[in-house]
Amino acid sequence: MTKSSVEVERSFLDRLEQTTGFSLEYWAREIKDNGPAGQTEIVDWLKSKHGFRQIDAALLSGIYLNDGRPVYCEKINCITGEVS
């Protein structure tokens, strides 16, 4: 059975720290401080420098460029915890 975009994004967020060793907050800072600016460039950078899979790099870059908010999930800022 195919997962919805919401399910894929939630699964990614639930396993991010376990699979990478770092929190979403860490990755947001890493992208901000050391990464490129555009979505395609962030995806390529996460894959080449940090070993992310394409789907995970795309999800993380999308969340980062969406001000830390999940693109498909509930309206909560995963970085600050603020609810919009």
Model confidence over 27-44: pLDDT tens digits?
999 999 999 999 999 999
Count of CA atoms in the C-beta half-sphere (13 A) of 6: 3
**Looking up tokens 């991010």, which residue turns up?**
16
Q: What is the largest CA-CA distance in the chain?
A: 39
Is 19 domain-assigned?
Answer: yes
* Residues spanned by the domain of 10: 5-65
Q: Could you give the number of structural domains in the chain?
A: 1
Q: What is the pLDDT of residue 62?
A: 96
Is 52 domain-assigned?
Answer: yes
Express each pLDDT in 41-60 by its tens digit.
999 999 999 999 999 999 99
Q: What is the pLDDT of residue 71?
A: 87
